[in-house]
Structure 1
Amino acid sequence: MAPLPTSIDDTLKLLSAGSYVADRSLATVVFLALRMGRPILLEGEAGVGKTEIAKVLSKVLGRTLIRLQCYEGLDVSSAVYEWNYAGQMMAIRLAEAEGAVDRARLEDDVFSEHYLVKRPLLQALAPDVAGPPVLLIDELDRTDEAFEAFLLEVLSDFQVTIPELGVIKAEHPPIVIVTSNRTREIHDALKRRCLYHWVGYPNAERELQILKAKAPRAPARLSREIVGFVQAIRSQDLFKAPGVAETLDWASALVELDAVALDPAIVSDTLGVLLKYQDDIQRMQGSRVKAILDEVKAGATAKA
């Protein structure tokens, strides 16, 4: 288990050790969250690296990563706990067969931790030999407001209340990362319990650094042209602009095709790696791709 960073610069170095290229404002929020023991709420477009932060912190700090992937209809039994009903029924039948009549004792036995099935939130509150885990509550905006309200106790006091057992509280609070793609607004009550940061698209310089860290096989010229092209089409009228994840996927695909530079043909053939909606792909086909590519190459030549 690695020690927590003692400064913002240490936090930048820590994230960099996990191949995460962060700006100083993000490193500041991560540093404060680690020092203050507060959850972080990260909002931003899909694919900008919100989830990756939790994975990197788990890796560089040597902590267990516990992930709760949110979805519509997520409830307590899937996120927190449920009872092993089959085991409980078996215990009741065995007790009845043996002639046990102490119902109060039987109830205490079947509603003990032995029959408790721990889901991600409860797992994150349990002691861990590797130290407090990293709890990733991913895409919270996919759930409903009722589940969001249930999280308030977890995020404020790092505890959950189980009616049959009482309050279960973490001895040492986990490192909590909550992400949202902002398909709906997160309630103010939850935001107040977290430190907040908006993760936007990186500028060209930082995206090139990310590409060098995550896709080192890509030739330097190709990397510069990929970043220039992606930065350019993010300003276009698209249904969904490509995130950093798509940039990395596209770079990997072009490397597999032995590309050393971009040309209109290879861009058109591989747009499905970069863009995920047919309307966006059609909008970018043909002369539009060539025009953007010409601007990218002209800009690269001028800088050289």
Structure 2
Amino acid sequence: MTTISAQPTSVDATLDLLAKHGYLAERSLATVVFLSLRMGRPLFLEGEAGVGKTEIAKVLSAALGRKLIRLQCYEGLDIASAVYEWNSAAQMIAIRLAEAAGDTDREQLSSDIFAEKYLIKRPLLQALEPDVAGPPVLLIDEIDRADEAFEAYLLEILSDFQVTIPELGTVKAPAPPIVIVTSNRTREIHDALKRRCLYHWVDYPSAERELAIVKSRIPGISAKLSQQVVGFVQALRNRDFYKNPGVAETIDWATALTELDARSLTPQVVDDTIGALLKYQDDIGRMQDDTLQKMLKEAAGDQ
């Protein structure tokens, strides 16, 4: 059973709440999360993939006992997939049944088939519905992947928390949902959308914080291996790779190494498991012997 929790009353309480559910946030991030909750404003999180933007929504949902409603954006996303559509098959059956019963009142029939029972509610409309646990957490993930036309459609929802359905009228949330919008910045998002949100850039964590995250997520990892893993990843991010690993990849790699009972990083261990850290062959191909040896030295603290 989900436990409903009160919203945090301070930045420190927000830090504690996130940490209690496994998210070790920078104070600046906890501050903007706290303000978003207090002010009822959407939170726009931008940053590289894998730095923990999506995780914020998941953690808030778990910590506050709210339903998580996720809208994963993609090119070509439209209102029918994101907001609502009419159940045309059910409507057609209703029309056929009415005709068979001799009901010829077209105006009444039109009103009947556009009733709410024929409405298929997609994530954005679901997020506006009342919930006994409180307004849900609405995650609009990777908005930069959606088309600009859909981005413009979001403006009404993010400013007034309502959706206009021509056949039914305006559906307005009794209380604003907690909205998290994320972007990997594959394209720029229009100012009109950003103005409706509080903004924060989520950066890669410092070595100290990333080490704390790894130890928190993988309690059984040895101190030596965790330090080497974080040192290696931090050194890798300082090089010009096509796609630097995020925190998610660091955790995956550390988990894989732990599953293999690795005690320390060696060239062979790195070569065998690098696919958990780097996801592009060109980047993996750049891990030649000399580069790998230098990075292992940096990970060990030998410059």
Aligning the two structures, in what range does the TM-score lie when normalised by the shorter sequence?
over 0.9
What is aligned with 1:225? 228
1:32 maps to amino acid: L
What is aligned with 2:275? 272
**Which stretches of structure 1, 4 residues or more, deviate above 2 A after TM superposition?**
none
TM-score after normalising by structure 1 = 0.97
What is aligned with 2:194? 191
**Map of 1:62-211 to 2, 5 A cutoff?**
62-211=65-214
What is aligned with 1:5? 8
How far did residue 107 of structure 1 move? 1.1
Once residues 276 and 180 of structure 1 are traced to their aligned partners in structure 2, the CA distance between those partners, rounded to angstroms, is: 20
Once residues 300 and 85 of structure 2 are traced to their aligned partners in structure 1, the CA distance between those partners, rounded to angstroms, is: 58
How far did residue 215 of structure 1 move? 1.4
Conserved? CA contact 2:70–2:139, under 8 Å: yes
Choose which of 27, 52, 55 in structure 2 pairs with 1:52.
55
Once residues 57 and 229 of structure 1 are traced to their aligned partners in structure 2, the CA distance between those partners, rounded to angstroms, is: 31
2:167 maps to amino acid: E
Conserved? CA contact 2:210–2:230, under 8 Å: yes
TM-score after normalising by structure 2 = 0.97
Q: Which runs of 5+ in 1 are unaligned?
A: none
State the secondary structure of the residue aligned to 2:182.
strand
Once residues 29 and 260 of structure 1 are traced to their aligned partners in structure 2, the CA distance between those partners, rounded to angstroms, is: 39
Conserved? CA contact 1:268–1:289, under 8 Å: no
Identity of aligned residues (%): 70
Once residues 285 and 46 of structure 1 are traced to their aligned partners in structure 2, the CA distance between those partners, rounded to angstroms, is: 25
2:14 maps to amino acid: T
Conserved? CA contact 2:227–2:299, under 8 Å: no
Once residues 211 and 274 of structure 1 are traced to their aligned partners in structure 2, the CA distance between those partners, rounded to angstroms, is: 14
How far did residue 101 of structure 1 move? 2.1
1:60 maps to amino acid: A
State the secondary structure of the residue aligned to 1:125.
coil
Once residues 232 and 210 of structure 1 are traced to their aligned partners in structure 2, the CA distance between those partners, rounded to angstroms, is: 17
State the secondary structure of the residue aligned to 2:192.
helix
State the secondary structure of the residue aligned to 2:41.
coil
How many pairs were matched up?
Answer: 300
Q: Which runs of 5+ in 2 are unaligned?
A: none
What is aligned with 1:247? 250
**Bigger shift: 136-145 or 215-224?**
215-224
2:238 maps to amino acid: S
**Bigger shift: 250-259 or 100-109?**
100-109
Once residues 288 and 65 of structure 2 are traced to their aligned partners in structure 1, the CA distance between those partners, rounded to angstroms, is: 45
How far did residue 297 of structure 1 move? 1.4
